[in-house]
A and B are shown apart, each in its own frame.
Chain A
Amino acid sequence: MVRNLPAFLRIAIPALLLTLVLLPVARMLLVSLGDPGYRALLADERQATLFVRSVRLAALASALALVWGWIAARAIAGTRGVLSAALETATYLPLFLPSIVVVKGLDYFFLPGGPARALGIEIDLGNEPGAAAVLSLCYYPWAAIALGAGLRGLDPAWSEVARLHRGRWATFRRVEGPLLAPYAVFAALLVFVFALSDCAVPAALRVNVYAVEVVTQLSFYYDMPRAVACAMPPVVLAAGLSAAFLIVARVHRTVGSRPRAAAWRGSALAAVPAGALAAVSGALPLWMHVRTAGSAGSFSRAFQVAGREALTSLWVASLSTALLLSAGAAMGWALSRSSRGWALAAKVLLVSTLAIPGAVVGLGVVLLDPAAVLPGSLGRASPLLWAIFARSFAIPSLVLFAAWSSIEPRLLQAAALAGSSRLRAGARIALPLLAPGLLAAGVLSFTAALGELPASMLAAPPGLMTLPARIHSLLYFAEDRIVASLCLALAFFALAALGITLALSPVRSGLRLDAR
């Protein structure tokens, strides 16, 4: 038994954690399957319209994000030193800003009376293309990460040799493109599922898609069968796409591969559009919130309105991060050491969880009622913590899977041969190598937990409201100055976490979001 314990754990850990994450959805599904009208709802004409609109929006966002991600990845790879570091930081900034902060900031910019109109730019974001554009700006850093990993894996010598005989475009088509294709498809898939489940952006821009419809059905009508009927198609779609990609592209073998020694050469001019993208997706929303807030008095009033919720968000996000990091590390280890088939199945389920509408998770947790079992205030907060955990678990798991995969197993074998115990080898060898991945997973988990909206709205018990939920409730009611001040506070918390992470990270390696 002791000898087989690692093998047992490699199966048990993912099984247990995925059960915890998927149990709320399963509960909702059971409730709905018992409803006689559920199947009829799936065939409802409105469902078809919603499906087409949601997929179209997510696909458009994904396509745009792929373009932005390519621009950013090439610029980062093609520049050096301070410029490269600055571009990388600016590109990744939207990852640490909750999407409600980004969408409201851009909304203020383009609103009638806003700076855009003064510059003669008349763009209305409150439609499908507008929502797709905003979603692409929120999530293109993920595309940049994936494509950047692909670029680092390319040997520039091959391109140079090919260009001796063919033109640039032919070289891209025949050499670079096929090698980058798995990364591009993975990037597109990741952004697609994020865009499919995002509620904050379409809700703020009043575009009705699955994620918003599920919140409507659950929080307005409390219609569980209809909400689940809306939730299941995107989940099945995400699961199908993930499975197809992971099987066909075999990306699980490429993620975690070591970078080539020679660097990709690109033009420094590529930094200009990349910088512009980073400015629009990160700096511009923040600047608009500062401009709209107007004065320190607005912050004071905002904290009178929502100070309690700000504190709640901080401690909930901190506690959630601790839980996510521990579980993510265990999951990442188990997947990196598992058989290919089991790891593939687990990763498909993990990516699919990103597509589950938060409201379904939130209400599923409420129906499971963990507060009835756990005592005290922590028990009362448990539905909220569980909902945030279920929504965000995939992120640290995937980041730490990449981190664990990059650790050369022979290092640990050598330590074992030298007489070191597993614990000692883990602490002295694995942990330092994992440190960048842990820091990256930690800050991403904190941001995800801090910015989570739909699940929190439904799962939060009375007396516990998070800051994003409070901002959402104030969107229509309160003055823009108060909303902008609260968005800035949310951004500040996320960026402070990033700052602390950068301060803690080893000086040489810095924060590597690809966890190498």
Chain B
Amino acid sequence: MNRVPIVLFALLAAACNDSRPEVTVYVSLDEMFSRPVLDRFEAESGIRVLAKTDPEASKTVGLVNKLLAMKDRPEADVYWNNEPLRALVLKRAGLLEPISPEAAADIPARFRDPDGRWFGIAARARVILYHTELVKESEAPRSLWDFTRPEWKGRFAIADPLFGSTSTHVAALFATIGVERTRALLAGWKENGAVVVAGNAVARNMVMDGQIAACLTDTDDANEAIELGRPVRMVYPDQDGIGTLVFPNTILLIRGGPHPELGRKLVEFLATREVEAELARSKSAQIPVREGIPPHGPEFELSRIRAMEVDYEKAAGALEASGEFVEALFHR
């Protein structure tokens, strides 16, 4: 019994004692993929990384809302977002410092903020994933509008369109094809029995397990199912039409963060080609936005995908309206 206080004291001392410099980063990219990158930065720089991630079911929205709520005393130095629209929301709120790391110079202009407040790396695409034993290849969905057809009634799943990349997708459609056409598409999905689940990974799991025939998800989730050897196939929708939404991760430096100089070092690290290559090699199969970085496989090469032409500023402006519409349609 006498040893108990000593052990507790040792634990307490250990908890108190870490004198390394530290940088705080909010991360919306799934932790399984972001952690190795941040661990490497920690090992190479000697700067301790304190990372906060958000759960699958509230992807991106939760952390962005927290940044907005705590804008007077931000906790984070850097925000590693997994899409560009909410980066623009934060930019409009005046929360971002300008950044122009040298390593980001070769990132194409369409994946960089013209005012230098964010830059994009390692993209994902919105894809259709279907179960090959439940769906013949000739009947496979190839367009978002295929899910409004009678043969797909109740046979497809989507992640909650209020959060994550699905909300980004909806806002991008609002901006690209117009409000009315997007509303008609979403209403068509609802009427056709779309199964709304908590996240892209849930939708992917349902297809993997054969519980549902097809789903809308992201390339990283789809690739994981393919690499597990499940009977699934991935399709880039609307390659003959409006194109597929391709959206990068975005790196942002938060204004007023507790460690701005260390935050800049992390930003410079994340801008390097090595980081993008690492993300491309990983199971998340992120799509390199820069030339010369080998993709995970030929199907993840940017030049082979007909990407939707999105005005990010317009799409960011449509976030609120699209969110209200989605909430009224799917949550009430």
Contacts and interface: CB of A to CB of B under 8 A. Distances in A.
A419 interface: no
A216 B163 CA distance: 12
Nearest to B56: A476
Given A221-B65, A222-B65, A463-B50, A477 B17 contact: no
Contact of A462 (B15, B16, B24, B202): B24
Contact of A476 (B12, B26, B201): B201
Given A378-B15, A476-B198, A476-B201, A112 B65 contact: no
Contacts of A476: 56-57, 198-199, 201-202, 205
A462 B51 contact: yes
Contacts of B25: 462
Interface stretch (A2-10, A180-188, A280-288, A314-322): A314-322
A463 B49 contact: yes
B15 A377 contact: yes
Interface string B26-43: 100011100000000000
Contacts of A318: 8, 11
Interface string A203-234: 00010000000001001111000000000000
A361 to B, nearest CB: 17
Contacts of A477: 30, 32, 56, 199, 201
A430 B220 CA distance: 61
Nearest to B331: A46
A34 interface: no
B107 interface: no
B76 A473 contact: no
B61 to A, nearest CB: 6
Interface in A432-466: 457, 460-465
Contact of A220 (B26, B58, B68): B58
A121 to B, nearest CB: 18
A143 B38 CA distance: 47
Contacts of A41: none
B16 A220 contact: no
A318 B7 CA distance: 10
Contacts of A305: 32
Contacts of B8: 318-319, 322
B53 interface: yes
Contact of A319 (B11, B24, B201): B11
B181 interface: no
Nearest to A504: B1
B62 interface: yes
Interface residues of A, number: 32
Contact of B12 (A220, A378, A473, A504): A378
A81 interface: no
A365 to B, nearest CB: 14
Interface string A23-51: 00000000000000000000000000000
Contacts of A220: 57-58, 61-62, 65, 162-163
Interface string A247-272: 00000000000000000000000000
A113 interface: yes
Nearest to A219: B62
A463 B42 CA distance: 12
A464 B53 CA distance: 11
A99 B174 CA distance: 42
Nearest to A318: B11
B75 interface: yes
B15 A319 contact: yes
Interface core residue of B22, B32, B202, B205 (most chain A CB under 10 Å) = B32
Contacts of B61: 220-221
Contact of A463 (B17, B52, B202): B52
A216 B54 CA distance: 12
B55 interface: yes
A302 to B, nearest CB: 12
A457 B62 CA distance: 12
A157 to B, nearest CB: 42
Given A221-B61, A377-B18, A463 B75 contact: no
B48 interface: yes
B128 to A, nearest CB: 19
B239 interface: no
20 contacts: A220-B57, A220-B58, A220-B162, A221-B61, A222-B68, A222-B69, A315-B14, A318-B8, A319-B11, A378-B15, A378-B16, A457-B55, A462-B26, A462-B50, A462-B51, A462-B75, A463-B48, A463-B49, A463-B52, A476-B202
- 4 closest A-B pairs (Cβ-Cβ)? A463-B50, A222-B65, A462-B52, A462-B50
